[in-house]
Amino acid sequence: MTSKFRQKLRKIKLLQALASLRITCLGIFLLFLLTLWGTIAQVQSGLYLAQERFFHSFYFLVLGFIPFPGGQLVMWILFINVLAVMLIRFVYSWKNFGILVIHIGLLMFFVSGYVILNTAEESHVTLKEGQATNVSSAFHDWELAIWEAPPERTDGKVIRTVTGVDVARLKINQPLPMEDSGIIIKLLEYHRNANAYAVNDGDSRYLNASGVQKIEAAKLEKEPERNTPGIILEVTTPEGSSHVILYGAERIPTPIEAGGKTYHLSLRLKRYPMPFTLKLVEFIKEEHPGTQTARSFKSKVAVDTGGQWREKPITMNNPLRHREYTFYQSSFSVDQFRNESSTLAVVRNHGRVLPYISTFVTFAGLVIHFAMAAVNTRKRQRQGAPHAK
Amino acid sequence: MRNKLRNLGNGFLLLTVLTGLLYSGNATAQNICPLDTLKPTKVNDLEAFARIPVLNEGRIKPMETFAKSFLLRLSGRRSYGKESALEWFARFIFAPRTTYRDQIFLINNPEILEAIKVDPEKRRRYSWRQLEPGYDKIKELAEVLMDIDEKELSAVEREILRVYSNLGYYIRISGAFAYAFPHPDFDLTSPEIKEKLGLATDRDKFSFYDLYVVTDKLEAAAMVLRGGDVQQWSEEGKTVARLINAMYFWTEHYGNAPFGVIPTVRYEEESWLSPMDIMRLNVDQEAYFDEITHIRNMTVYYWNGEQLQFNIAAKAYLDSVGKRLSPKEKEQYDRFGLELFYNDFNGFLWAKLGYGLAFMFLLFSLLSSRPWLSRTAAVLAVAGFVPHLIAQILRILIMARPPVSNLFETFIFVGLIAVILGFILEWVNRNSLGLTIASVSGLIFLTIASKFGGDGDTLKVLVAVLDSNFWLSTHVITITIGYAGCCVGGIMGHIYVLQALFDSKNTKRLNATLNNTLGILGFGLTTTFLGTALGGIWADQSWGRFWGWDPKENGALMIVLWVALLFHMRLAKLIHPLGVAVGSILTLIVVMWAWFGVNLLSVGLHSYGFTSGIAMGLITYVLFELVFLAVTVFVLGKKGMKI
């Protein structure tokens, strides 16, 4: 029955083409080439940019005009190729059992890669000893934040509702109404890395709280953390419309009036609220005796689990896992008063077990296949040619 | 005996200001030591000395290991002429002057010699006497270079920095035991002062140590001078001031020697200091003073050639230090026996010898088919393997960690695995092929490894991220086994090509070799894949991502992709058996790239630090290999074999 179905499938020209072993070879070769190229490119452009250009992309331009397939495209092709082979070409037999398992594992790797690339969130928290937080901030993703200014100076806690818009997803010249406030924003210019200037030839046309009147695109940095973005917005309120500059390095938000209320606008590193609070209890650093080589870092943290604090030391290879969050020791700093603060990387990853499973399956397949091949060869040798004296 | 220099210090400030005229404090190490013409009698048995613990590069190691790495760092050799590293080092530390004419400074680059106007030596090694006149020039050049990013430096510039740092290291350590030598700075003729200070009246020459012992009295004698006018000081007063000033100068001059032999605890941290620093920093403890005295006694007995007394002093020193070690330090100290055995054992040398001889016998067996030749080869290969294995196990025991954490260790380990794979092949096929693989790869990898031991002590501490951890051990070990598998595959590829060159008609033999190659490559693929994925798991555990396209990860992935490509191309009939052989030879290049080529890029999270000389070696190898392949493929093409 299945074979009849496969017979039918085999007649489809497209599937035949997709299941070609030549495509497999080409795909593997391209991936090999991309890996080599993307490694060497890191010397010039740093890990992040090389990663975007060579591995996460569908295609990129060589010398500015020759398109070349990117890692994501090649991996999609390989994924489809493996599936197609499994559908119409593959001979399902015990002899091929190992190979089947290997390729199932590989398919799982592709799926894991896709899931993690599209869902995992990486951010960080930096805490001094004794400090606590329930918000982590992105390493280099920026958001446009809008919130209503508190009515007047108030003591104590102010809870504010912030609307954050991922800057990378804003489209140029597309109006975006902000809920409730009656404000409509439209992105006019966006530079991932920009220089800001206080002077602009002619009249001051832009609203900005820190006096920025001009932004200019700058070359992207090797480390994406060092980019400071700048945007120019058209903000339309019931009162009229105005142009606003926001710059990533600003300390204060830009206020804007709308419908008798004041709203604050700011361009800031994306914030991720966490459904619990994390506190740094103590940070400890050890060195190998008589050297500057660090032996270990340790952050003692506590997590608020519904009113109860659970303490846990985080060390280099020993992270804290809580719900779908994982906290890793990332770096630390000591200020001039010898106050230590610790930076923890926060990863929220629903798919983190996927590569583990894929690894296990693929490895099992490899072992099965090559062990069986070895045994078979040995058998053949025994049968074919007895030991020559 | 207590509070010695602290009290002295009170007088110092005043006195140094006043006596600047009496003593011009402008000497350097080489000018201070008086023993230019004298020769020590020396002691012959340094066994107790070899066991003295030294804290160096984050690890407590026996003096012998320190001596070896010291000499190796300076001269690139493990011994000096007929003297062992330990014998030479004992002469250096107890009688530094006697080493000033020893040609121990390796300078590879003739341009440096031109810059300091020294005639090049054939052996590229120079003595302190030769280099001393040019030292200031080297210092000048080096100081400019220190502000420049290391990556920007040319080979000559790096060499200048290396030579400068070696010279400095030599000078600073040379004075570590200077406090025990008599010196003109402390000459004292006046019997009254000697008596006053409680010094021996029958001699005029004293050492820093002699005066340090009587600091209290010296200080009392100096009290009289306080507040007085320097012009009206008596001769006695001037002498006392001279002595104190000299002592002060000595503590400054010989302080901070990078030679931690006396364990202390400062600011709650283990910190090992040189004897002079103990005296200078005025760390109060009876035991410290005893230890300083034992070292001083060792120096004296070394000079006098009194073996028994020397041993007693060394043992007394070891006793005193041994008692004060923290449990963690004690653990390392207790493994000294193993380490000294490892040092003496020279396992890798014996292993190389065994493999080399085995290979020779295998070559002979090509000429004549007498079975005893290959049998002897088998015995020799095993004779090489045993010390290789023992030395490897010793290293694991000494360091109490997995065997693979720097380039030197990976070569040793890859060699070991390759030899084992060769033995397995031999066991399966029994046609000398496996033996050839075992002896060739053992010889090659150990030879390369010895090039990387060149920067001194090969047993190194780990940085935090590499600290012993389950995933680290499994990841690094499997990936290294993967390298070994792929390398053996590459060597098999060579054998296939050579067999085809000599006898392309013997298809049976060729097929057997091809099958073995594929089998080994399969093994290499499996272990490399596992190692790569385990690396991903480790990265996920440590940094929160399984895969980040880091250069080292990419390198490992490239091996996997390359071997997978070979298998698939064979399946798609895009290549013939010769193509598989050529492909497996190229695998070697991919492995080299992953193994240490990417480290040359010096980006990313992985780097086990090493010199740039390797780049040339790598490029030469690749060129050589490509030419070899081009020629053989052309020749075999004429014979009708297709790639």
- C-beta atoms surrounding B379 within 10 Å: 14
- Those residues whose C-beta lies under 8 Å from the C-beta of residue B454, and which sit 6 or more positions away, are B72, B76
Copy the structure tokens of residue B99: 């080493």
Instruction: Assess whether B440 and B521 both reside in one domain.
Output: no
Distance CA B42, CA B561 (A): 62
- C-beta atoms surrounding A80 within 10 Å: 16
Q: What is the mean pLDDT of residues B181-209?
A: 86
- Residue B202, pLDDT score: 82
Chains A & B: contacts with CB separation below 8 Å:
164
Q: Which residues of B touch A290 (CB under 8 A)?
A: 55-56, 58, 260, 270-272
Q: Which residues of A touch B515 (CB under 8 A)?
A: 377
Output phi, psi for B369, to 5 deg.
-95, 25
Domain boundary among B274, B298, B327: B327
Instruction: Assess whether B404 and B423 both reside in one domain.
Output: yes
- For the four alpha carbons of A203, A207, A209 and A213, in that order, the dihedral sign comes to negative
Please check whether residue A187 is in contact with residue A233, taking contact to mean a CB–CB distance below 8 angstroms. yes
Instruction: Assess whether B214 and B323 both reside in one domain.
Output: yes
The yes-or-no verdict on residue B270 having pLDDT over 80 is: no
| Residue B322: inside a domain | yes
Copy the structure tokens of residue A326: 């994982």
Confidence class of residue B612 from pLDDT cuts 50, 70 and 90?
low
- What ipTM is given for this predicted complex? 0.83
Of A159-168, A254-263, B507-516, minimum mean pLDDT range: A159-168
Confidence class of residue B458 from pLDDT cuts 50, 70 and 90?
low
Given A24, A293, A373, which is nearest B461 (Cβ)? A293
Q: What is the mean pLDDT of residues B258-265?
A: 85
Please check whether residue A101 is in contact with residue A364, taking contact to mean a CB–CB distance below 8 angstroms. yes
Beta bridge mates, A285? A297
**Å from B548 to nearest chain A CA?**
8
Prediction pTM value: 0.78
Instruction: Assess whether B510 and B451 both reside in one domain.
Output: no
Confidence class of residue B31 from pLDDT cuts 50, 70 and 90?
very low
Report the run of H or E that residue B449 belongs to, with start and end: helix B433-452
Confidence class of residue A156 from pLDDT cuts 50, 70 and 90?
low
Instruction: Assess whether B502 and B414 both reside in one domain.
Output: no
| Cα–Cα distances in angstroms (integers) from residue A186 to residues A178, A206, A207, A241, B350, in the given order | 11, 14, 14, 10, 76
Q: What is the mean pLDDT of residues B610-626?
A: 78
The yes-or-no verdict on residue B459 having pLDDT over 60 is: no
- Residue B609, pLDDT score: 40
Please check whether residue A42 is in contact with residue A110, taking contact to mean a CB–CB distance below 8 angstroms. no
Q: Which residues of A touch B328 (CB under 8 A)?
A: none
Given B271, B549, B568, which is nearest A25 (Cβ)? B568
**Cβ separation A21–B464 shorter than 8 A:** no
Angle made by CA atoms B422, B423, B427, in degrees to the nearest 5:
120
Mutation choice for B interface testing from A28, A326, A367, A382 by most B CBs within 10 A: A28
Please check whether residue B494 is in contact with residue B514, taking contact to mean a CB–CB distance below 8 angstroms. no
Instruction: Assess whether B497 and B606 both reside in one domain.
Output: yes
Instruction: Assess whether B232 and B352 both reside in one domain.
Output: no
Per the structure, the complete domain to which residue B297 belongs is given by 4-34+180-327
| Residue B13: inside a domain | yes
Confidence class of residue B19 from pLDDT cuts 50, 70 and 90?
very low
**Cβ separation A28–B561 shorter than 8 A:** yes
DSSP A85-113: IIIII---SGGGHHHHHHHHHHHHHHHHH
Q: What is the mean pLDDT of residues B399-408?
A: 76
Report the run of H or E that residue A312 belongs to, with start and end: strand A308-315
The yes-or-no verdict on residue B17 having pLDDT over 50 is: no
- Residue B2, pLDDT score: 42
| Residue B205: inside a domain | yes
**Cβ separation A316–B546 shorter than 8 A:** no
Q: Which residues of B touch A29 (CB under 8 A)?
A: 565
Copy the structure tokens of residue B613: 């000389």
What is the amino acid identity at position B183? H
Any A CB within 8 A of B541 CB: yes
Any A CB within 8 A of B622 CB: no
Of B21-35, B191-205, B564-578, B624-638, minimum mean pLDDT range: B21-35
Given A122, A290, A297, which is nearest B544 (Cβ)? A122
Q: Which residue has the tokens 């595959």?
A: B489
Return the SS3 of B54.
strand
| Residue B43: inside a domain | no
- Residue B28, pLDDT score: 37
**B502-525 pLDDT tens trace:** 888 888 889 889 999 999 999 999
Q: What is the mean pLDDT of residues B573-585?
A: 94
Instruction: Assess whether B251 and B171 both reside in one domain.
Output: no
| Residue B292: inside a domain | yes
Instruction: Assess whether B144 and B230 both reside in one domain.
Output: no
Chain A nearest-CA residue for B563: A28
Q: Which residues of B touch A90 (CB under 8 A)?
A: none
Q: What is the mean pLDDT of residues B175-192?
A: 87
**B95-122 pLDDT tens trace:** 888 888 899 998 888 888 888 888 888 8
Of the candidates B81, B170, B176, which has an alpha carbon nearest to the alpha carbon of residue B129? B170
- Residue B67, pLDDT score: 92
Q: Where are the beta strands (DSSP E) in A129-260?
A: 132-148, 162-166, 175-177, 184-191, 194-197, 206-207, 214-217, 230-237, 240-247, 254-258
Q: Identify the DSSP state of B176.
A: T
Confidence class of residue B344 from pLDDT cuts 50, 70 and 90?
confident
**B205-244 pLDDT tens trace:** 888 999 888 888 888 888 877 767 777 778 888 888 888 8
Per the structure, the count of domains in chain B is 4
| Residue B53: inside a domain | no
Four-point Cα dihedral A89, A91, A96, A99, nearest 10:
20
Beta bridge mates, B468? none
- Residue B461, pLDDT score: 56
- C-beta atoms surrounding B591 within 10 Å: 28
**A309-360 pLDDT tens trace:** 888 888 877 788 888 888 888 888 877 777 788 888 888 888 888 999 999 9
Instruction: Assess whether B565 and B478 both reside in one domain.
Output: yes
- C-beta atoms surrounding A295 within 10 Å: 17
Q: Which residues of B touch A112 (CB under 8 A)?
A: 546
| Cα–Cα distances in angstroms (integers) from residue A84 to residues A18, A110, A294, B127, in the given order | 6, 15, 51, 72
Q: What is the mean pLDDT of residues A94-98?
A: 92
**Cβ separation B543–A113 shorter than 8 A:** no
- Residue A46, pLDDT score: 81
| Residue B59: inside a domain | no
Report chain A's mean pLDDT, rounded to a whole number: 85
Instruction: Assess whether B300 and B443 both reside in one domain.
Output: no
Instruction: Assess whether B299 and B186 both reside in one domain.
Output: yes
| Residue B40: inside a domain | no
- Residue A151, pLDDT score: 65
- Residue B22, pLDDT score: 39
Domain boundary among B176, B192, B214: B176
Report chain B's mean pLDDT, rounded to a whole number: 83
Higher pLDDT, B39 or A186: A186
- Residue B606, pLDDT score: 44
Buried b (16+ CB within 10 A) or exposed e, B540-566: bbbbbbbbbbbbbbbbbbbbbbbbbbb
Distance CA B599, CA B615 (A): 10
